[in-house]
Amino acid sequence: MSEPATPSNRLPWRATVVTLFPELFPGPLAASLAGDALQQGLWALDTIAVRDFGLGRHKSVDDTPAGGGAGMVMRADVLGPALDAATATNPGAPRIYLTPRGEPLTQGLARELAAAPGAVLLAGRFEGIDQRIIEARQLREISIGDYVLSGGELAAMVLIDAVVRLLPGVVGAAASLTEESFEQGLLEYPHYTRPRDWEGLPIPEVLLSGDHKRIEAWRRAESERLTRERRPDLWAWKKKHEER
Ligand code: ADE
């Protein structure tokens, strides 16, 4: 009997990216935490090249928009077979289309995706994709923020990174996950390390006191202050949910 690849005795979480630019992957996901975990088999990554499913002599993947207008639209009859190939290598994984008009990627959504067997991620280019593929292949539309990237590949990498660090065994100390930004509905408190004085700036006295109760209270107060100042939306949401 061989050892299971993951602590939970399941297959590793698998990302299958459907893209015109497979050479962009793993890119930054090969480094650091995600890269080490990839090497260890805690998650898996593969790409499906949309161009392989292109039509005709020119392997065409897009066409002009019905109704006219600027730009090009990726064809449903190209994306359909590409997505089906992705699902064949990653069965049971939700199919996601990265788009600025999707639901926002949050820590909560990252947790939800980490609990799935993996994800099939469609990275678009050009003006967009034919609406019929979204409906016919039940694509969940997800945005990484209110700005427009030139393609979905960077957004797919952001999503993968946010999910992978939540997988069992990827981040060493569980505490470093539960204390970080958003996990408690608060932004993270400030950190300090040696030297004790740097350019005339001291480490806050309380952190050197050894009094763990006081330290915890200070960190909590700083988290709350930062959240109130910088993210009144998060703060209001948290207050509302605490009332119930
Ligand atoms: N593709 C282009 N912009 C994007 C965004 N903000 N989020 C997800 N996918 C995108």
Two structure tokens written together for 236: 């209001």
Contacts of 133 (CB under 8 A, 6+ apart): 74, 76, 79, 80, 83, 139
First to last CA, the chain: 50
Buried b (16+ CB within 10 A) or exposed e, 96-115: bbbbeebeebeeebbeebbe
> What pLDDT shows up at residue 8?
53
pTM: 0.94
Give the pLDDT means over successive 10-residue stretches in the chain (244 positions): 53 98 98 97 98 98 97 97 98 98 98 98 93 98 97 98 97 74 91 98 98 98 98 96 82
Q: Report cis status (omega within 30 of 0) of the bond before 26.
A: yes
Which among 24, 77, 78 is positioned nearest to 47, based on CA atoms? 24
> What pLDDT shows up at residue 7?
53
Q: Specify the length of the chain in residues.
A: 244
The CB of 100 under 6 Å from ligand 1? The reply is: yes
Out of 18, 98, 158, give the residue to mutate to test ligand 1, the one with the largest number of ligand atoms within 8 Å of its CB: 98
Distance (Å) from CA 164 to ligand 1 centroid: 19
Residue nearest to atom 6 of ligand 1 (CA): 100
> What pLDDT shows up at residue 175?
58
- What is the three-class DSSP state of 243? helix
The CB of 144 under 6 Å from ligand 1? The reply is: yes
> What pLDDT shows up at residue 184?
86
The CB of 154 under 6 Å from ligand 1? The reply is: no
Amino acid at 212: H
Which residues share a beta bridge with 11?
none
- Axis crossing angle, helix 32-39 with helix 153-164, rounded to the nearest 10: 70
> What pLDDT shows up at residue 32?
96
In the DSSP assignment, the letter for residue 55 is: B
Two structure tokens written together for 107: 């820590």
Two structure tokens written together for 20: 């015109």
> What pLDDT shows up at residue 4?
46
